[in-house]
Structure 1
């Protein structure tokens, strides 16, 4: 039997009432991860070497902008370390939601090739119900479960199906990784085909896809459209991101947008000259306000939408 969506958030330091989250959230971030396949150490946020810088940034954002919540989407095979997440959360006083699942195929772990959809579902459900390893930390979201290309590969489809079934069994929501924004419609088709409601799905990296029609269709189906690489100028300028976002807002889909920066390497940290986790608040949102966004719209995009995504609540509940 499918479980109802939780009204409380599962954070790395325990349950937190959604109603107590009064400040903005970052909907797709990484505080600790290891995606280094080149051997150069760039795609790493080390749980010891970089934790102090990460903690300092979150603390400053809490004090300046009221940052209250961060959804951390480092899952299995991505260097996840929930013990480090708990320390960062306690020290910064920013609530952190940890995740489970598998990333896209180049980062798949060995059990995926040998396991069936049913077996992989059991792995995820067990982690959601019993905690991650011996830490006792309970994941509060599935993600970032990934694919690349316009259609998921067979192993990626297997993982997406397992994620959808685990989400249904536990009441959690699911965030995807759509490489360079591609394949989001195919992801939603597959996930909803397993019975997962579209409003429990966030489709990742849509600000990297220059296709307002796809954004509108995803939102019209009920999925959340994640503009979650804000500030990553090597992929797309924020000027172009803003134009894509305004088009989606003007189409009437403000209630289906999630925003974040997807800090995924230490070079993005402020300490190392990068844009940091606060780029959304210090640079992008002022541009959005200059384009006409009022306080209520900003609150919807940065607080109420992430909370509704995580809990399945309606707008009236926030």
Structure 2
């Protein structure tokens, strides 16, 4: 099984004995005129570090998959500092978010040029620090079908994944468009088990979730605690439906902290809401500890490494 690429070096999956957060942001900048709070910058790094250190101590948090990519204010040097200071390994990402956040480099580039950009980052590293990304994501689209530029960036992500062996995590805006994303990515030869379709807990449609899982993709319930988008009660119902349909091995969980107001220091639910609130509710609904371990540790490791079920214990 492949090692996991983290911002501080390779990590054996066997060394990850605690839970992972499968979709988070530790350093990003998505500020636009209408939304000036979508930022986690230098002023917030200490608070982020403290939260991760506490979760490592209290819940054994063993890995964070950080899905801030090109055009989202990615800062791999900050990620390396946070990982070292908190004691929690962090996976960095490459790719392009959905169209409203595409940088100018996307505009005039064809698919091959875009794929080449990703392959270079994956093989040579990001920035002067030469940090090697460990995942392609969160590559995005909005609506039921990707826009023309999003088709190019998603296709480039798939081709880079096929060329390098990395897996792909998507951003499906408000949960929509997952089946179209999966069809596009797999059409490029990327196996479905190396694809995670994002934000499905924002889509109240268990049929779509089962369809994605049956085709072999991971289904991300990754905005846990974002009650302004969807209640955790609905998330719990949707996740239980997926588990009851026999797809516990296809779900990933996280909180997608994406603005400083979500931090505990600022009164938000923080990165630990999954452990403090949602998992206790999941257990109270009858889900056993082995399934919780599958959802929070084994599934993320399998996704990142492209492993099959029996290869991660």
Q: Same fold (TM over 0.5)?
A: yes
Is residue 2:251 matched to residue 1:257? Answer: yes
Show the counterpart of 2:9.
14
Which runs of structure 2 are paired with 1:160-199 in the superposition (5 Å)?
160-199=154-193
For the residue of structure 2 that corresponds to 1:49, the secondary structure is helix
CA distance in 2, matches of 1:111, 1:88: 29
Offset of 1:41 from its aligned partner?
2.8
CA distance in 2, matches of 1:199, 1:13: 26
Gaps of 5+ in 2: none
Offset of 1:38 from its aligned partner?
2.2
For the residue of structure 2 that corresponds to 1:57, the secondary structure is helix
For the residue of structure 2 that corresponds to 1:42, the secondary structure is coil
Query: Residue 216 of structure 1 is aligned with which of 207, 210, 218?
Result: 210
Gaps of 5+ in 1: 1-5
CA distance in 2, matches of 1:269, 1:178: 23
For the residue of structure 2 that corresponds to 1:210, the secondary structure is coil
> TM-score of the superposition, structure 2-length normalised?
0.99
Show the counterpart of 1:95.
89
Which runs of structure 2 are paired with 1:54-203 in the superposition (5 Å)?
54-203=48-197
CA distance in 2, matches of 1:195, 1:109: 27
Offset of 1:285 from its aligned partner?
0.1
CA distance in 2, matches of 1:231, 1:237: 7
Is residue 2:28 matched to residue 1:28? Answer: no
CA distance in 2, matches of 1:210, 1:91: 38
Show the counterpart of 1:301.
295
Show the counterpart of 1:291.
285
For residues 256-291 of structure 1, give each alpha carbon's deviation from its aligned partner in whole angstroms, at most 9, with x where no partner exists. Answer: 000000000000000000000000000000000000
Stretches of 4+ aligned residues off by more than 4 angstroms: none
Offset of 1:151 from its aligned partner?
0.2
Offset of 1:241 from its aligned partner?
0.4
For residues 295-315 of structure 1, give each alpha carbon's deviation from its aligned partner in whole angstroms, at most 9, with x where no partner exists. Answer: 100000000000000001122
Offset of 1:40 from its aligned partner?
5.2
CA distance in 1, matches of 2:188, 2:252: 23
Offset of 1:207 from its aligned partner?
0.1
CA distance in 1, matches of 2:265, 2:126: 30
Offset of 1:113 from its aligned partner?
1.3
CA distance in 1, matches of 2:15, 2:300: 14
CA distance in 2, matches of 1:147, 1:40: 19
Show the counterpart of 1:3.
none
For residues 44-82 of structure 1, give each alpha carbon's deviation from its aligned partner in whole angstroms, at most 9, with x where no partner exists. Answer: 000x10000000000000000000000000000000000
Is residue 2:311 matched to residue 1:317? Answer: yes
Show the counterpart of 2:39.
44
Q: How many residues align?
A: 312
For residues 226-258 of structure 1, give each alpha carbon's deviation from its aligned partner in whole angstroms, at most 9, with x where no partner exists. Answer: 000000000111011000000000000000000
For the residue of structure 2 that corresponds to 1:15, the secondary structure is strand
Show the counterpart of 1:272.
266
